[in-house]
Structure 1
């Protein structure tokens, strides 16, 4: 077999794989515009006892503001805020307690959110709460969040994901990160929920049956993607994850390239970890148990991250202009159009503005940062790579 034939087959295989990526994104971008069914309570709605857990790793700058706003959040029932303090300063701990927050201190040689949450749940009384809500150290709940979560649990769900959205868009990278968040919400949460599948967890703005969360976290280990691990464990149990598309939790977005690269390194490491761990089990779960949910979660680990996908398609398009074999120029151009259509359809109309056009100029640099992140995945084996936070971001409520 000649060299050119081998290269042609290889390029054809790569093209087919990338085509499937684009079709997946476009499909869920389209179905994500279907209206989600109303959550109808199957039992009366007594206010459940809620524990708001906020893991805070060296987040002294923001945690006081976050905890104070969580404590002040209006809820019809009893809600207790607990900060899981990892590496916080003594004066911060004292201030948190004076605000009325509970504090559980942890100290690990290698910190992870999953281990911190499990330790907190092992220390707190097992029968004191019905629901655990998990926030990041910079998250702020939108008005009525806990009441809506309570309604979802009355509708029979044991796991709920709120709509996490940006509270800052002041820099090009922050806006690109905000757009990425909303596209993820549409494709991985809204889209699957619209066709009866579970929404994907996102790491914060999550709520769980209190006892179920403790069981899910048992043996969580030192994974850098605890939300994805929980996703797979919930799918194995064939429990549905509800998505509250109209209930917002505001989250700080990345404002510079260095932190963007650090965060994406952690995300890529997480995806690679679960690709190796669950790809084969996804097929077994489908064949032996008819578990479409688990298979779908495992399928997502094969998807090329969108920023990298843009770059890869661009490179192959340029190569096709000079290579005499492999898919045609029209094929690669078509994939770029499919990808652009999927992302354009998934992005909310409220984010189409002049600021977005200015931010798109930075997109090639963001793609380059994703490439750098690929070569730094091994850093996650020795470091938590926590995302630093800043306080006092003005929040503009999202208009549907």
Structure 2
């Protein structure tokens, strides 16, 4: 029993120290070195969507309202399985619409079709949005300055546009913890920021080169990140360039979304972890190994509950040998430090009591994972169209 506890303690301690180190690193500022007075970047904004007729027209209209010269930006909606009337409404807004269809739909397939379409008149850079995303008013101006200053792969600051339910508040906090640890904290320690699937900016030819290697996966952003880091590209994080993203409002959608995410995580762990170890030892590629290591991490919400239980058992029971209370305190401190100060309000306090519900949803998600989870796309229902500003 003591041997099992020591092994479990060691494995969890590694993850706790990982979060603690990057959580503390994220407390320092991270500013990009931007050149002013640079020319405008020619952007193409790709918005892939799958059966999301209820929100895509509003998203397209919001994209057209962003402050940026029209001659320097194209907005292209990649319409997979949309209703004919939705496609017509989209075209009336003034955006470009590329209808796509696949036997097995994935976001990567839609994006590759979009890149093929753009190659007839290629832009300098591509912005990837989800069908519910809204760019901040000056977003394109900011990322244009960054691109012209030499940053060719940028993850913008994706943040919540809704906090309408306790689950949405928890999802919002989880997003900001990820921004703090996996993006800002990583960049402050010299490692690449993590991609998050939308609010991403890429040099066109570079993006097309790597996306052409990705088709049948529901975790295209993670695979893209693996390929980029394996070839030693650096992913920058632009904290002050905002994209507003809808957070899941119900336990059902939370579980559905996490099933897809965890399925992709398990898939990438199986296929890349030991390759990451190999590249660390033989080539000193820390960035690539770090990304592969992230695929072995226990979900943050699940670890909150697990450590809380172990700390209570440690306090009241004489049978545990390791100091779970200290480990739990370190992890909780890392999580608390990673949540922005402006999110500490009554909504967050109420939402904390829903953590057990989120934990049960995560456990249910793990039980639902199949071999097809990482390769088949399933849309998460969304409908909040506010702009988040």
- Assess same fold via TM > 0.5: yes
Match of 1:48 among 41, 44, 57: 41
Residue 169 of structure 1, CA deviation = 0.2
Match of 1:390 among 369, 383, 386: 383
Deviations 1:217-271 (CA, angstroms, capped at 9, x unpaired): 1131311111111111110121111111011100001100000000011111111
Q: Secondary structure at the match of 1:375?
A: helix
- Cα distance in 1 for partners of 2:316, 2:120 equals 65
Match of 2:349 among 333, 341, 357: 357
Residue 326 of structure 1, CA deviation = 4.5
Structure 1, 236-245 or 80-89: larger mean CA deviation:
236-245
Structure 1, 44-53 or 13-22: larger mean CA deviation:
44-53
Match of 1:345 among 337, 341, 344: 337
Pairing 1:185-224 to 2, within 5 Å after superposition: 185-224=179-218
Match of 2:58 in 1: 65
- Cα distance in 2 for partners of 1:190, 1:32 equals 5
The TM-score normalised by the length of structure 1 is 0.92
Structure 1, 98-107 or 308-317: larger mean CA deviation:
308-317
Match of 1:4 in 2: none
Residue 392 of structure 1, CA deviation = 3.0
Unaligned runs of 5+ in 1: 1-6
Deviations 1:169-222 (CA, angstroms, capped at 9, x unpaired): 011001000000000000000101112211100000001011111111113131
Match of 1:297 in 2: 291
Structure 1, 129-138 or 214-223: larger mean CA deviation:
214-223
- Cα distance in 2 for partners of 1:341, 1:81 equals 42
Match of 1:336 among 324, 328, 333: 328
Distance 1:391 1:347, change over 3 A: closer
Match of 2:108 in 1: 114
Aligned residues: 387
Residue 152 of structure 1, CA deviation = 1.3
Q: Secondary structure at the match of 2:357?
A: helix
Match of 2:68 among 70, 75, 83: 75
Match of 1:134 in 2: 128
Q: Secondary structure at the match of 1:156?
A: coil
Contact 2:272 2:292 in 1 (8 A): yes
Unaligned runs of 5+ in 2: none
Residue 382 of structure 1, CA deviation = 7.4
Residue 102 of structure 1, CA deviation = 0.9
Contact 1:110 1:383 in 2 (8 A): yes
Deviations 1:50-96 (CA, angstroms, capped at 9, x unpaired): 00000011111110011111122111461000000011110111111
Contact 1:44 1:154 in 2 (8 A): no
